[in-house]
Amino acid sequence: MTIFAIEKRTYLLLKELHTVEEMTSHFNVVQSLYPNMSMEKYQSHLKQMIPHNYAQLAVFEDNTCVGLTGFWVGIKLWSGKYIEIDNFIVHPDHREKGVGKAMTDYLDQKARALNCTMIVLDAFTGNFKAHRFYYNQGYSPKGFHFLKIIDESGLG
């Protein structure tokens, strides 16, 4: 666990989550991004993701989860070891308070400790607030993430 000070007398507790039980206890934060996600689907996805180096970082303010992001540690031929941020969520009631910066700072430290070459993430093309945030954290676009949707009903 890590503690970050974000404002005068405001502290955030950051905790890594590694089990389905830990992750599902903060399902309400996930639903702020995916309101139609069911608990059953969430649990099913987590059970498949965790064995493939998936974990989450949760941020707490006064024992309330106010931010959550998934992350994967992986390796690719072109990049070597990396961390991929997945579903970066700051609860709408807690935005612009330093929660997102605390999460990116934590993952930056973790990537360095694991000897990763980079941190990667996807942001939807129209999400300009996210783009501005990531630029301010030192991220920059380096390519296109192409996709071909095969079954739209399976999307979150």
d(CA 100, CA 134): 10
Confidence class for position 139, pLDDT limits 50, 70, 90: very high
Q: What is the mean pLDDT of residues 118-140?
A: 92
Predicted local distance difference test score (pLDDT) of residue 144: 83
Predicted local distance difference test score (pLDDT) of residue 56: 98
Predicted local distance difference test score (pLDDT) of residue 44: 96
Q: What is the mean pLDDT of residues 46-75?
A: 96
Predicted local distance difference test score (pLDDT) of residue 7: 54
Which residue in this structure is represented by tokens 């072109």?
A: 78
H runs (alpha helix) in the chain: 20-24, 27-33, 39-49, 99-113, 128-136
- 55 Rama sector, left if φ>0, alpha if ψ -120 to 50, beta otherwise: beta
With 80 as the cut, is the pLDDT of residue 105 above it?
yes
With 90 as the cut, is the pLDDT of residue 4 above it?
no
Predicted local distance difference test score (pLDDT) of residue 58: 97
Confidence class for position 2, pLDDT limits 50, 70, 90: low
With 60 as the cut, is the pLDDT of residue 77 above it?
yes
Confidence class for position 28, pLDDT limits 50, 70, 90: very high
Q: Are 59 and 88 in contact (CB under 8 A)?
A: no
The alpha carbon of 141 is separated from its chain's Cα centroid by a whole number of angstroms, namely 18
Predicted local distance difference test score (pLDDT) of residue 13: 93
With 60 as the cut, is the pLDDT of residue 1 above it?
yes
